[in-house]
Amino acid sequence: MDNLILVGFSCSGKTTLGRNVARRLRLNFVDTDRYIEEMCGRTIPEIFREDGEVAFRALESEAIDRIMSEQNQVVSTGGGAFVNLDNRAKLRTGNLVIHLQVRPETVVDRLRNSKSGRPRPLLDSTDPLERVMELMAERKEAYSAAHVTIGVDDRSRYELVGELRRRWLAWQRAHRPTATPTPARGGRPPLRGSLASVKHNLRRSSLRYGAAAAAARRAA
Ligand code: S3P
């Protein structure tokens, strides 16, 4: 509950943007793939190679279960995590899910130029563009179940982190009006968040006062 979840295709920037926005919001950052690797002491390609995709998906669901029992985190998910209906329901419930939408050509470019060189077993193909397009088409419907979609092509990291941060703060104001607002850099809580909480508390206490006054009138 109360997590900011990033979903989307490989190389859409989930991990980089997630880590950056978590830092700005002072929230914990969790990456489901890294979590799985720590959980079983093996890398994702090793899990795929030794046990296959079905075993990987089971570990992924287990990791999502565990991660979703915590709150106030930014969570970046593996590209296929949102396809499974149970995972999707768990990720959507009480959290803000943002889909980072990326063009297939950008994915292929980024795969070629990836500094981390992290292999993506599912994208290992003689025609990577065709493979990416095929997998993206299969996942289109799943990704459309995110609460918000943001296109990442041709936008700077700075701009995207700013947009993710704004979306999170707006979601918090709308869904958790009494929650302690995330402190802005420099320590002070954002003014609009506190104003919303004050208004909400005033509304609640005037409702309570109204009910008490009505009960007193009835008793008199
Ligand atoms: C996968 C994407 C990978 C990783 C695994 C499967 C997928 O994560 O979870 O290789 O099914 O698309 P990234 O989205 O971080 O590449």
Q: State pLDDT tens for residues 41-85.
A: 999 999 999 999 999 999 999 999 999 999 999 999 999 999 999
Does residue 10 belong to any structural domain of this protein? yes
Distance 20 CA to ligand 1 centre (A): 20
For the entire predicted model, the pTM comes to 0.81
Report how far apart, in Å, the C-alpha atoms of 92 and of each of 85, 157, 160, 186, 202 are. 10, 25, 21, 31, 30
Residue 144 DSSP label: T
Taking 80 as the threshold, does the pLDDT of residue 210 lie above it?
A: no
Do 118 and 212 share a domain, yes or no?
no
Domain that holds residue 127: 4-175
Mean pLDDT of the chain: 85
Is the CB of 79 within 6 Å of ligand 1? Answer: yes
Note the pLDDT of residue 117. Answer: 65
Residue 122 DSSP label: G
Note the pLDDT of residue 179. Answer: 62
Nearest protein CA to atom 1 of ligand 1, as residue: 79
Note the pLDDT of residue 75. Answer: 98
Structural domain count of the chain: 2
Nearest protein CA to atom 8 of ligand 1, as residue: 78
Do 51 and 88 share a domain, yes or no?
yes
Q: State pLDDT tens for residues 168-185.
A: 999 999 987 776 555 544
Contacts of 190 (CB under 8 A, 6+ apart): 169, 181, 182, 183, 184
Note the pLDDT of residue 204. Answer: 46
Least Cα distance to 47 among 111, 109, 121, 129 occurs for: 121
Taking 70 as the threshold, does the pLDDT of residue 91 lie above it?
A: yes
Does residue 29 belong to any structural domain of this protein? yes
Do 169 and 66 share a domain, yes or no?
yes
What is the pLDDT averaged over residues 198-217?
A: 47
What is the pLDDT averaged over residues 121-133?
A: 85
Q: Please provide residue 149's backbone torsions phi and psi, each rounded to the nearest 5 degrees.
A: -120, 135
Do 140 and 209 share a domain, yes or no?
no
Strands 73-76 and 4-7: parallel
Distance 44 CA to ligand 1 centre (A): 9
Do 63 and 134 share a domain, yes or no?
yes
Distance 38 CA to ligand 1 centre (A): 16
Is the CB of 10 within 6 Å of ligand 1? Answer: yes
Taking 80 as the threshold, does the pLDDT of residue 149 lie above it?
A: yes
Task: Catalogue the E-assigned strands of the chain.
Answer: 4-7, 28-31, 73-76, 96-101, 148-151
